[in-house]
Structure 1
């Protein structure tokens, strides 16, 4: 299994709206692509001192790297743009790809 991990630090003031957006719009849209079999939305319990917001990780599980690459090429740009427009200047994010051992 491959895990597509998206780590996002969200400003405190936008956190509630961000969580609602993720649960009700973004994650369902990502899952509707058919590229992932499951997901987890997690919150970092120990905040990093130099970050102003709250840090979350969204983990999407898929069967193979080729499926993930298909998602990244076909679906990710539009979904990421929608997220960025909605929360512009209220978050920072980075993505990592993990392999289950």
Structure 2
């Protein structure tokens, strides 16, 4: 089992609408793809000065094969939806975590 993590830096201006988008559009989109489960949204706690707020959105995925398949089928749609909705107000990067315990 893996965790597919996306870390977002959300501008103060976009924060409220981004949270609604994650809850009402992004999480359902990811779950409906059939590859992910157990969504979680968390605010990243940091002592560094930054503009905006960082959030982590995580989903469980069975294995790398499933994640690669999702990337081929849906990743460009995911990026396009985020860019269309928020432009430069939201930036993000993804990481994959291997659950060891």
- TM-score bucket (shorter structure): over 0.9
On the 8 A contact 1:47/1:54 being kept in 2, the answer is: no
* Distance apart, 1:48 and its partner CA: 2.7
**If the length of structure 1 is used for normalisation, what is the TM-score?**
0.93
SS of the equivalent of 2:34 reads coil
Q: Does 1:5 align with 2:2?
A: no
The count of aligned residue pairs is 100
Distance in 2 separating the partners of 1:12 and 1:52:
7
Structure 1 runs not aligned, ≥5 long: none
Misfit runs of 4+, over 2 Å? 45-48
Unaligned 5+ runs, structure 2:
none
Report if the CA contact (8 A) 1:47-1:55 is conserved.
Answer: no
Q: Which residue of 2 aligns with 1:31?
A: 31
